[in-house]
Structure 1
Amino acid sequence: MIKPTAQHLLPAFAAVLALLAVMPADANCIDEGSAEARTDASPLSERVDPKTARDNLLSMVDQAMQRSQAIGASRLLAEAAAIDVSETRAARFPQVNLGGTVGAVRTEVGGVQEESGKQGRATLSMSVPLFDGGRISDLTDWRKSLAEAARLGEVNTQEQVALQTVSLAIERSRYNLQAQVYQQYARKMSCLVEALQTIVRADRGRTSELVQAQKNQKQAELSFSQTQATVRQIETRLKRFVGDTLPPTQGMSSLLLSVPSLPDVLAQAEASADIAQLAAQAEAAKYYAESVKAQRWPQVNAVVSGTTIRGTGNGTQWSGGVNVNIPIMNPPVGYAIDSSQKRAQAARLQREDALQARRFRMTEVHDQALSAFDRARQVVEVLRDSDRVRNFTLQQWQQLGRRSLFDVMSSEGEHYNLRVQYVNALYDGQQSNALLWSLGLGVRAQLK
């Protein structure tokens, strides 16, 4: 038997969400029609184009990325790293220096003064590297890899902001739906209270049932108030990212229901921003080790220098040639080479370890998403039976007197708790999906 996946259950989930908005009207208590009819105006009953919901979510992500100072800081660091590349590359070009001195001079030979007076010197020198064992090239590649790592760091920061925004948007929608369920539960209890108040006026022996119904009504109203408070707190955190204007939550409940296949997810692990950043850092460490190793090679520079003297002892001196510096013995370099190579190997192993951990994490989150949607499917099946039970129980209490109010309270409480469980299972799956996307190519790329 083939086990249904979230993709197969997508139409069923949408149907159940629409059903939740109007369920209470299917099992009317005495004189409750007018109260329960008001739930048809709830957001759950509105038909929202999925594209509109997706556009709203993308708009929030874009606003969060524009407002984020963390992303701005990462962008500046990436730009600074790109400038560092130009700085290192410029070491290949001629270095020209101009210097000068002004002062008094006095020259004596054998106690006899030869010259004395004021003198000014101006010196112009130029040096061009001819051979350095590839050190400048290695340092340039090192800087390039660091610049790429900084760019990927910016991408990773953007992804973290996007994930936090999407996660908060999902939680906001979750608790809005929960609030609607508790509100409908409170209305159902209010309806029963009104019915029992009528009954108690004729039969004072039913007062205990009225007190029980009033207690359940207050508990439902308390759950509704607490859920509304949670919504406000989530919206406060969300406004930090996207500003004071928040789009409606309609359509969010059916937006992130498609779970990608595990092979596709694992294939994206290596392309994720933080793994690619670690790869760039490992590459940078390798090039830096090569640049340290190049210090053992001779350093050859072309040098031209000229000096002009004015005042006492006027004259001009020019010199030019090739300056060769051959390292014969430099013990610290050997240690520097060994340590840089060890760091390069460590960076490479860190990248491999992070990639392996990422793949195991993806497998875990993928299973969590499937389990959550499967749990939602199972709750839907129980929810249908629960709806029938509460309908029959209410009818038997209203019409036949074969059930007690406590049976009615129990069936109603169980039914609404199942509806909350369904909402939680559905949104747990969506949170796992968002995290799964973030572990791969990114939430924003998948939303697009």
Structure 2
Amino acid sequence: MDKKWVITTVALALSLTFIQGSQAADDDELLFSEPQPASAPRFKMDAPQSEVKEAAVMGQAAEKDSAYHRFAREPGSTQKFQQAKEKESIADALAAPADYRQMAQKSVSETGSDEGLAAAQGAQSDEGPRTVNAPSVRRMQDIPPRAAAMAKPMQSTAAIHTWFQKMVGIALNHSPEVRAALSDMEASSWGVKQVQGQRYPQVTVGTSAPFGSFGNGASTRNNNSLSDTSVSVTVNTTVFDWGRISAELDSAREGLNAAALAVKEIREQVASSTMAELLNLSRYQESVKVAQAYVNRMQKLVTMLSGIASVDKGRASELVQARARLLSAQAQQEQLQHQFDNTRIKLVRLMGVEPGLPPALRWNGDLIALNTALSALHDHPTLKRGEAEIRSADAQAESIRAAGLPKVDWVVQKSTSKDQYGDEDAWYTGLNVQWSAFSGGSERAQRQAALAKMRSAQEKVQVSRYELEYQIRNMVETRDSSLQRADNYVRLSAETDRVRDMFYRQWYHLGTRTLLDVLSAESDHFNNQISAINNRYDGYTSNVSVMYNAAILLNWLVKQPGMKSRGQGF
């Protein structure tokens, strides 16, 4: 009698545990996907022998949960909470994944084991579920894209060129640096005109109005009053000056050439800065979207745990962890938003207007080869400007040398002043020779200074060449490495997306993961997404730097098919 009573009691307890365990399974809903429909098959899978320990832990968890249902609260409270949350989140939930039967059949079909298939099908016996009903983990191609990645990126090369050309044209038309460089070039052009004028006859006109004469000396009765006012005219034409004016003219022309090349440098710099900031704006725009999706996931998790903790005080620590991670996600989002706003401010400084939001770019074309960039250095404005400065300094030194030699001028002059006899001076014409025979060494010092300036310019050109070659090689390496890392991070993000989904299900349905594992997986997935974006845009920015250091950026913008440079500031 006692044995029969014990068996009856044990059977009743097991039945009650089975019923409440099934109800707990019905309570489970996924945070990041839609709940399974009512008609979805429930797959009951026997635990493999290698997972006996995991099955034992799951059994203990089910037993504790049943006891809690019996003695702590009314059954089905979690189900009521999940049903209420389901109505709020059903609109944006993802599609329900495939069930475990498909995974088991796929696994058996790959191994070719008929016995394994029979064992998987036999798992749906009437012995009761060994595990709770959890949807299968989807393969990478089965995972739909997230909302942050749903926007179609701009991939057309012509569209990207057109957009960049429009923005850079606005920046060039607005840039005060370009206008200042143009003013410097204008000043240099007037300097050339000034030197050219020395080749023409120099006409000097003067007048003299005497008030009186005093002191000892010859009589000056004809220059004692304002009525004796006289006018003088002098025409001085350089006949021979050992090439002084020609050297000065060469120096001025080289200075004008250097100023024109400086304008091109400034324009390349403005174009590079504008394109780099536009890329950063697109970078931070994508990053903010990813951060917003991360914040939304953390907010949903906090909302869910708030409801659970309200009926299960023992899980309050999980709510604290989720809130801490939510605050961290919000701080990261705010930091990215701050960088986005700062970039917009920089673009207003560069363009003078509020920039339009850029599209999501996929700019994998137009990668400049290393040899192409290096071969363009012979036309680089920085190097050519340095060479022009060398020639200008050399011509200046030659001009100083010629100025120390005798100079022959043809002079024509006439004055209306009268001598003591009342006669005017006649017209005079002749050759004048002038020679600065001794100047205390100042002339030699001036020439040596010009030669030293020329040698300095030569060294600067060499340094600039080395630096540009280094920058081009470095940027090409950085670009290729960044784009490769971006591809790796994209694949890694897809895998960590699956990992965080698995961890969540293992925590929520099986209890084999802690909430900290779930939060860490979410954080890793977010960081990998941000790293993929940053490396991709680092590659784009490095490609722009390659074109800038090779001084082919403006040519790349202008020479695209179907583009017009007129009116765009180019």
Normalising by the smaller structure, the TM-score range is 0.7 to 0.9
Superposed counterparts of 1:55-66, under 5 Å: 55-66=162-173
Q: Which moved more, 1:130-139 or 1:306-315?
A: 306-315
The separation in 2 between residues aligned to 1:34 and 1:64, in whole angstroms, is 44
| Equivalent runs, 1:321-360 vs 2, <5 Å | 321-326=430-435, 328-329=437-438, 331-360=441-470
Q: Are residue 84 (structure 1) and residue 191 (structure 2) matched?
A: yes
Structure 1: 5+ residue stretches without partners: 1-24
Corresponding letter in the other structure for 2:502: F
Residue 33 of structure 2 corresponds to which residue in structure 1? 28
Return the match for 1:157 from 249, 255, 266: 266
Aligned match of 1:272: 380
Show the 5 A alignment for 1:6-405: 28=33, 31=86, 32=89, 34-35=91-92, 42=148, 45-48=151-154, 50=156, 51-103=158-210, 118=225, 119-200=228-309, 203-251=312-360, 253-255=361-363, 258-309=366-417, 313-326=422-435, 328-329=437-438, 331-405=441-515
Residues 274, 113 of structure 1: CA spacing in aligned structure 2 closer, same or farther, 3 A cutoff? closer
Q: Which has the higher helix share?
A: 1
Give the TM-score normalised by the residue count of structure 1: 0.84
TM-score (norm 2): 0.67
SS at match of 1:249: coil
Whole-angstrom CA distance in 1 between matches of 2:300 and 2:215: 118
> Structure 2: which 5+ residue stretches go unaligned?
1-29, 36-85, 95-144, 559-570
Offset of residue 136 of structure 1: 0.5
Structure 2 SS opposite 1:317? coil
Question: Greater relative contact order: 1 or 2 (C-alpha under 8 angstroms, separation 6 or more)?
Answer: 1
Q: Which moved more, 1:388-397 or 1:66-75?
A: 388-397
Shift of 1:439: 1.0
Identify the structure with the greater strand proportion.
Answer: 1
Quote how far apart the aligned CAs of 1:305 are.
Answer: 0.9
* Secondary structure of 1:103's aligned partner: coil
1:64–1:165 Cα contact (<8 Å) kept:
yes
Secondary structure in structure 1 of the residue aligned to 2:427: strand
Instruction: Give the aligned residue type for 2:208.
Output: T
**Following TM superposition, by how much is the alpha carbon of 1:222 offset from its aligned partner in structure 2, in angstroms?**
2.4
CA positional deviation for 1:43: 7.6
Tell me which residue corresponds to 1:5: none
Give the counterpart letter for 1:89 in structure 2: Q
User: In 2, are the aligned partners of 1:68 and 1:241 still within 8 Å (CA)?
Assistant: yes
Counterparts of 1:182 and 1:115 in 2: how far apart (Å)? 98
Deviates more, 1:80-89 or 1:110-119: 110-119
| Pairwise CA distance, 1:346 | 2.0
Q: 1:117 and 1:239, CA in 2 relative to 1: closer, same or farther beyond 3 A?
A: closer
Instruction: Decide whether aligned partners of structure 1 residues 228 and 257 sit closer, same or farther in structure 2, where only a CA change above 3 A counts.
Output: farther
Contact 1:133 1:294 in 2 (8 A): yes
Counterpart Cα distance in 2 of 1:408 and 1:123: 100
Letter in 2 for 1:224: Q
Corresponding letter in the other structure for 1:154: V
Q: In 2, distance between residues paired with 1:166 and 1:110?
A: 81
Helix, strand or coil: the match of 1:315? Answer: coil
Structure of greater Rg: 2
Q: Alpha-carbon deviation of 1:292?
A: 1.3
Name which of structure 1's ranges 27-36 and 55-64 shifts more when overlaid on structure 2: 27-36
CA deviation string 1:138-195 (max 9, x = no partner): 1001001111111222222222222222222222222211111111111122233344
Is the contact between residue 53 and residue 250 of structure 1 (CA under 8 Å) also seen in structure 2? no
SS in 2 for 1:268: helix
Q: Given the superposition, is the C-alpha separation of residues 103 and 250 from structure 1 closer, same or farther in structure 2, using an over 3 Å criterion?
A: same
Q: Cα distance 1:234–1:94, how it changes in 2: closer, same or farther (>3 A)?
A: same
**For 2:512 and 2:365, how far apart are their aligned partners in 1?**
43
Task: Kindly provide the amino acid, as one letter, of the partner of residue 34 in structure 1.
Answer: A
- For residues 281-336 of structure 1, the C-alpha deviation after alignment (integer angstroms, 9 at most, x for no partner) is 11111111111121243311111111224697143411111122345555433333
Whether the 8 Å contact between 2:222 and 2:418 is mirrored in structure 1 is no
Residue of structure 1 equivalent to 2:71: none
What per-residue deviation string (whole Å, max 9, x for no partner) do you get for residues 235-290 of structure 1?
12221222342111213x32376432222222223422222222211111111111
Tell me the alpha carbon deviations over residues 206-245 of structure 1, each in whole angstroms, 9 at most, x when there is no partner. 3332332233223212221222122112212221222342
Q: CA deviation at 1:42?
A: 4.9
Whole-angstrom distance in 2 between the partners of 1:97 and 1:264: 58
Give the whole-Å Cα distance in 2 for the aligned partners of 1:417 and 1:370. Answer: 21
User: For 1:260, what is the secondary structure of its paired residue?
Assistant: coil
1:435 is aligned to: 545
1:45 is paired with a residue whose SS is coil
Q: Work out the CA distance in 1 between the residues paired with 2:215 and 2:287.
A: 100
Q: Quick check: 2:376–2:552 contact (8 Å CA) kept in 1?
A: no
Distance 1:88 1:324 in 2: 21
The percentage of counterpart residues that share the same residue type is 24
Question: C-alpha deviations, 1:336-378, integer Å up to 9, x for none?
Answer: 3333222212211221122112212222222222221122122
C-alpha distance after superposition, 1:90-122 (max 9, x if no partner): 100011111121225679999989867542322
8 Å contact from structure 1 (residues 35, 187) kept in 2: no
Aligned residues: 423
Q: Please list the CA deviations of residues 3-22 of structure 1 after superposition, one character each: whole Å capped at 9, or x if unmatched.
A: xxxxxxxxxxxxxxxxxxxx
Over 3 Å counting, the alpha-carbon distance change for 1:164 and 1:107 in structure 2 is closer
Distance 1:102 1:190, change over 3 A: closer
State the alpha-carbon separation in 2 of the partners of residues 209 and 163 from structure 1.
Answer: 49
Q: Secondary structure at the match of 1:125?
A: strand
**Separation in structure 2 between the aligned mates of residue 84 and residue 112 of structure 1, nearest angstrom:** 48
- 2:400 & 2:325 partners in 1: Cα distance? 75
Q: Secondary structure at the match of 2:33?
A: coil
- The answer to whether the 8 A contact 1:186-1:220 is kept is yes
What amino acid sits opposite 1:275 in the alignment? L
Instruction: Pick closer, same or farther for the CA change 1:443–1:264 going to 2, 3 Å.
Output: same
